[in-house]
Amino acid sequence: MISGYLRKTLFLCLMQDADKVIQHMVECAETWEKTGDRRFIFLRCYSMMSANMLTAIEEGRFANSPWVTKLMLRFAEYYFDALALYDQNQEQTPAIWLQVHNAARLPDTHVMQNLLLGVNAHINYDLPLALYDCLHHEWARLDEAQQRSRQNDHETVNQIIGDTIDAVQDTVVEPLSPTMALVDRLMGRMDEWLLSQLITAWRHDVWNVALQLLAASDESQRHTIRQEQELRVMERAERLLENL
């Protein structure tokens, strides 16, 4: 059994790792913005939400802070692993991230397209995989209350995202699209609320995909679930590119 001291030490190490990851996000986004690389749009948003996540963990807003921190780090690994592949060997890049990064190079994509394409890929494709990675070793031995606690922590993130969206619009979206500032004035917080509701709905669906992965009988079945989810995410991305 892990002692309380060791558990606290491991948690502090996780928090330090999370802080380093967020700093890396900020530095990478700043470099991209200076060079005109529009991939900074999603990463700036992601770094802001991650920083608020870290604050929420420190404030004790989660039932199981070490698990949430571990999930946060694994989630970020999926993003940076795909980014490294894109920069070094595009043929091995996950198709959904190839689609996102290529779209950032197109001169006519709107700032909201760049943002939503990244959010779609990271939440709808990366997150169920990260959830599975962080749950499958323990899920079978958790009782119903403990499983529900993990889901509650997952849903608490929705509140943090909702609290961050207004700042994202003010600091990332509106400077690149002055018309969005007009929309914001006309609609008040309605447009932020709609985006928050969209992300919340996506995250609800993602939890169910993670449950499917956990319930799969073997790796072949999990591979099929992953492929089906990838197809749904890419189809959604195509609609985002067509309709905005």
CB 35 within 8 A of CB 94: no
Q: Which tokens is 59 given?
A: 């404030």
The residue whose two tokens read 């990064």 is 101
d(CA 118, CA 38): 11
CA atoms 116, 120, 126, 128: torsion sign: positive
Where exactly are the structural domains of the chain?
Answer: 4-243
Task: Extract the runs of DSSP E, i.e. beta strands, from the chain.
Answer: none
pLDDT in tens, 98-124: 999 999 999 888 888 999 999 999 999
**Counting beta carbons within 10 angstroms of the beta carbon of residue 58, is it exposed (0 to 12), middle (13 to 18) or buried (19 or more)?**
exposed
Instruction: Name the pLDDT band for 172 (thresholds 50, 70, 90).
Output: confident
Instruction: Name the pLDDT band for 15 (thresholds 50, 70, 90).
Output: confident
Q: What mean pLDDT is predicted for residues 159-166? A: 90
Q: Let me know the angle formed at the C-alpha of 155 by 93 and 173, rounded to the nearest 5 degrees.
A: 60
pLDDT of residue 71: 97
Residues 6 or more apart whose CB falls under 8 angstroms from that of 180 comprise 111, 112, 169, 173, 174
| This model's pTM is above 0.85 | yes
pLDDT of residue 188: 46
pLDDT of residue 171: 85
pLDDT in tens, 34-84: 999 999 999 999 999 999 999 999 999 999 999 999 999 999 999 999 999
> What are the DSSP calls for 100-128, one per residue?
HHHHHT-TT--HHHHHHHHHIIIIIIIHH
